[in-house]
Chain A
Amino acid sequence: MDKKHSGMETPGTVVLAFLLLIWMGFLYFGSWILLAQAWGIR
């Protein structure tokens, strides 16, 4: 196993999982912001 990493077996996949979570958060909150604008909520 590559010792340069933190000891995780699948560091690449962990990074991809975080990317997915960040992306989903962006979609979710972006949608809420659009909805609030449409409803005139400031």
Chain B
Amino acid sequence: MAATTLPNVFSGTRSTFRVCPVTTLKVDAAAERLIIWNAVTAILALTLGGTYALLVGLTRWPDIHLLPPAWFYRLLTGHGLNMLVFWIVFFEAAGLYFGACVLLNARLVGVKLAWVAYALMLVGAVMANVVILMGKADVMFSAYPPLEADPLFYLGYILFAVGAILVCCIFLATIVMAKVERRYEGSLPLAVFGLLTAAIIALFTLASGAVALIPTFLWRLGDVYGLAGFGQVDPGAYRVTFWGFGHAAQQINLSAMIAIWYSLATLTVGAKPVNEKLSRFAFFLYILFINLGSMHHLLVDPGIGTAAKFFNTSYAMYLAVLGSMIHAFSIPAGIETAMRRKGFNKGLFGWLLNAPWKEPGFAALMLSLFIFGFIGGASGVVIGAGQLNLSTHNTWRVTGHFHATVVGGTTLAFMGFTYYVIPLIFRRPLFGKFLVRWQPWVYGIGMIFVSISMIVAGILGTPRRHWDTTFTNAVIPVQLPSLTNLMLTLTGISVLIAVTGGLMYVVICVGSLFMKKREARALNPLDA
């Protein structure tokens, strides 16, 4: 194994790097350990969230209706928190260390602090999960007051967020030192620029989360322990600050996903962005406009004026969407240019038909692009408009939209990227290569049908976060169209397919951890 040392500017010591035989990048040993630990923890969170997904999905399937009501809301809270927060942020932490250290050939600045951050995130995640399973936090991941949870739930959330802020600060320090110590030439690579965008958004996002969660934690602390003077939390004010955290957090996932899209396009077909300045500008648009666009979560809130609502969602949000439109063009265009240069020039789509679909990274990339673009992003732009939101708010149309974006888009892209991280960073060959080829397809197609059936059910009026949509024994009876039953059943069946895809991924990752360690032999994970 080739190793090299490079001098550090301020401390006068030298850092040891191993040189990757496939990519020739220099890998800092401390960063590698942190990438591994954060990624493995992410997959544990995904497994837990995925198990809850199966149980919740089988409950909303009307003919099965598996869980009793309390457990449905309990595991739905656990599903939301484990998937939307813990899985994604632990994976992004691994991604930030990868981008700052491996892609820049740099050393990790503040190694001890990085482990403190990991410990905070782990303790926060475990605390929140335990409190949820104890039945003391049936409040959904959004935890709106006056819904009450145990103070330890909010404390877990806050500790996790503090750990995540530390990871972002370490990332920023590392890329600054990488520049100072001249570890790379020219500008930051585009993928690292995308991760930098994610880190910048993360800082103001998590600050907003702190403003939402700390007073709520104090309120519950005062309530539970009978302490006076800890105040109340205004539900409207909480919602504003929570969604300042909540939506911008999705934009972090979006920036990270797009950075991974560019990386996968380069890794699989050697694509380069057609106009790198434009791509960077598109990332910059996210930073400027996403917090304004977050107003789409608050369109039915009574305490906010219509001018603010309509400016933010019908003007400002579309500038963030413009960023996505630029990337949505740039990445396929980069792939097309690269494939045409390789000689696949036949007709309009010869470049696409002859692309390496057998490579799991490419399949994951294209499925993720398609699902995010055509299903998730498009439906999001539609339901984010003020007037339309009045009929879509709190229906399953919203759930279908964000399952397309976060699950079909971000999670699938992360899964595709994992298949490169395992041979190159974990330095173990992939377990179950016959599973690896098909996993993106099973998961992607499962999620396509989950999202579409949820959206149609929502259009027909199915509410979200609701145990029994037949409204049995309701004082005011509600009769949803009978087509809804079909849509809910289709969702249930599709959940089974998607969970199978998720299980395949977990089996591949866990199995690979037990394979014999050896250096990667090729870039294609199926040959490595």
Contacts and interface: CB of A to CB of B under 8 A. Distances in A.
Please determine whether chains A and B interact with each other in the same assembly.
yes
24 contacts: A1-B340, A1-B345, A2-B340, A2-B345, A2-B346, A10-B332, A10-B336, A10-B337, A11-B348, A12-B348, A13-B333, A13-B336, A15-B348, A20-B378, A24-B378, A24-B381, A24-B382, A27-B378, A27-B379, A27-B382, A31-B383, A31-B388, A35-B391, A38-B391
What class of interface size applies to chain B in its complex with A? Answer: 20 to 34
The dominant DSSP class at the B interface is helix
A32 B274 CA distance: 36
Contacts of A10: 274, 332-333, 336-337, 340
A15 B329 CA distance: 10
A9 B334 CA distance: 10
B349 interface: yes
Most buried by A among B328, B381, B382: B382
Contacts of A28: 381-382, 385
Nearest to B383: A31
Interface string A13-42: 101110010011001100110110010000
Nearest to B369: A16
Interface in B290-336: 328-329, 332-333, 336
A41 B91 CA distance: 48
Contact of B459 (A2, A11, A17, A34): A34
Contact of A12 (B336, B381, B459): B336
B378 A12 contact: no
A9 B337 contact: yes
A2 B381 CA distance: 36
A38 B373 CA distance: 28
B490 interface: no
B5 interface: no
Given A9-B337, A13-B333, A20-B373, A31 B382 contact: yes
B296 to A, nearest CB: 14
What class of interface size applies to chain A in its complex with B? Answer: 20 to 34
Nearest to B332: A13
A36 B337 CA distance: 44
B378 to A, nearest CB: 5
A17 to B, nearest CB: 5
A28 B392 CA distance: 13
B345 A12 contact: no
B318 to A, nearest CB: 12
Contact of B329 (A9, A13, A31): A13
3 tightest A-B contacts by CB? Answer: A10-B333, A13-B333, A2-B345
A28 B382 CA distance: 5
B328 A20 contact: yes
Interface string B389-433: 011100000000000000000000000000000000000000000
A40 to B, nearest CB: 13
Given A9-B274, A27-B382, 17 more contacts: A1-B345, A2-B340, A9-B340, A10-B333, A10-B336, A10-B340, A12-B336, A12-B348, A12-B349, A13-B329, A13-B332, A17-B328, A20-B373, A20-B374, A23-B378, A24-B378, A28-B381
A23 B352 contact: no
A12 B374 contact: no
Contacts of B232: none
A25 to B, nearest CB: 10
A31 B391 CA distance: 10
B252 to A, nearest CB: 24
A24 B333 CA distance: 20
B142 interface: no
Most buried by A among B336, B337, B351, B391: B336
B117 to A, nearest CB: 39
Contacts of B381: 24, 28
Contacts of A16: 332
Contacts of B391: 34-35, 38
Nearest to A2: B345
Nearest to A3: B345
B387 interface: yes
A16 B366 CA distance: 13
Contacts of B385: 28
Contacts of A12: 332, 336, 348-349, 351-352
Contact of B388 (A15, A20, A32): A32
A29 to B, nearest CB: 9
Contacts of B345: 1-2
Contacts of A5: 348
A11 B336 CA distance: 9
Interface string B333-370: 10011001000011011011000000000000000000
B345 to A, nearest CB: 4
B31 to A, nearest CB: 35
Interface string B95-118: 000000000000000000000000
Contacts of B388: 31-32, 35
Contacts of B337: 9-10
Contacts of A27: 378-379, 382
